[in-house]
Structure 1
Amino acid sequence: MKIKKILNNNVVIAKDDDGHEVIVMSTGLGFSKKAGDIFRRQDAQKIFVLSDEVKGKYGQLMRNVDPVATEIAENVITYATEQKNLRLNDIIHLTLTDHIDGVLTRLREGVYMTNQLTMEIKRVYNRDFGIGLYANKLIKEKTGLEPNVDEAAFIAMHFMNNRLDCNNNDETINQTIAFVDDTMKLLETYFKVKLNEDSLYYYRFVSHLKCLLKRIIDGTTFTDDPLLYDTVSRSYENSAKCAAKIANMIKLKYHKDVSSEEKAYITIYVEKLIRECNKK
């Protein structure tokens, strides 16, 4: 591979053997090198492609950020794509690196940010929050600095906003958080319980609620299956009453009727959650 431009000691723009322009990361790769120098592909620790617009801004950023921030950001992005199977907008290479550089600066100055949505993000966007916790762990390992849990939530928001499988923006995220929060509070109030937010059933119900809200926002028509609801409601009478209250909340807040089939599914999720609570 041939170096086209050195961004910093660890990051260069290069041309691969097929003539494609790529970003290459490797510790010390840009040190004592110049444009036109050749290096082996196997010496690259990470190779990725950016759009022309993002690549120009990324090059500017690399001249001003802590190389450790770049390393951490790229390790976190790799973790998100390879371990959590996220498909991400390439601008995250820019925004996350810049954010983590700011985190390192703040932590060195003893400044700790608070995030009012931390618990809600953990509840609704559990996978993204887990990536944020992984980032916190890397920051501590690489620098000795220890971010608080609110920093994990801030980092999670970068993944929430840049996932290609979701059309997320700040308004959608806030709406989703409010919808899930309202639903879970209604459920806890109705049954007078405290739900286990780390449980598999909780995670599955949250995932279902996010899909349900998307269908509400998109105006998707709900199918009806009275027989299914009749069967489920007779088997889980109390959970069905709670599901009816959730459906009524949706009607009042979103002006959308919930089908009997959807109420049946909500009933089943509620029943599983409450059974889990009652086991403790």
Structure 2
Amino acid sequence: MTEGLHIADIVAGYGSRRVIDGLTLPLVPPGTVVGLIGANGSGKSTLLKTVAGLLTGTAGGIRLDGDDLRRLPPAHRARRVGYLPQTVIRPSSLMVYEALLSALRATWPELSRARAEQRIEAVLGDLAITELALRPLDALSGGQRQMIGLAQVLVREPRLMLLDEPTSALDLRWQLSVLQRVRDEARGRAAIALVAIHDINLALRFCDRVAVLGNGLIAAGPPGDALTPDVLRRAFGVVARVETCSRGRAMVMADGVAADPEHHQEDTP
């Protein structure tokens, strides 16, 4: 059995409009964080929804550790795949602790109450949000609710994490904290994370690999190798360069809009 995630020849879209047409990614080994990068409408969210099994009329192969995710019973798939949508969790009178317990019970009903509480306590502690445990969701900010949505994924300990812009509602401190936690989680459990992310410099810092989308796959590989000026121009239509900061980290500096951008954006639902 081949361990890891293999995505091949994916075709997906909405109604009659294709957003992804024959996309294949290199095999993603366990313990890897892959950043999905591309302009708006390039298919990042569509790919995550397809892998999560949320879109109808899709085609292609999606295998996790050799198993065809499309053929797994829903309960088995829910245990192995955790999906965080782009929209933050809705406000409600439900307490944070109850929201996490519900997410855990939905996929691991056989867990004892004590073991479930241990998982919840550990995740809240790892994310540094323990003080939110007994607060209702409708008393939280958008950024805090986004953190709770991530906690609902992490508490289930899925083999594959599909995270759609998990830092979009967070300030810089929490962006760094969340992406560090996702990377630690992937490496610590030999899990896999696909993360749609707009901040290229955060992807450079926290992702083991990137997949740059735009009319198909433009580039894939380690961020420092894949994110070249030519790739950035093709993906985003910008003139950009990759510099090294005083701490030796690569950073993308955008100088302006390219005169001949090659990427084509499409509207998404």
TM-score (norm 1): 0.27
Larger Rg: 1
* Higher helix fraction (1 or 2): 1
Q: Using CA pairs under 8 Å that are at least 6 residues apart, name the structure with larger relative contact order, 1 or 2.
A: 2
TM-score (norm 2): 0.27
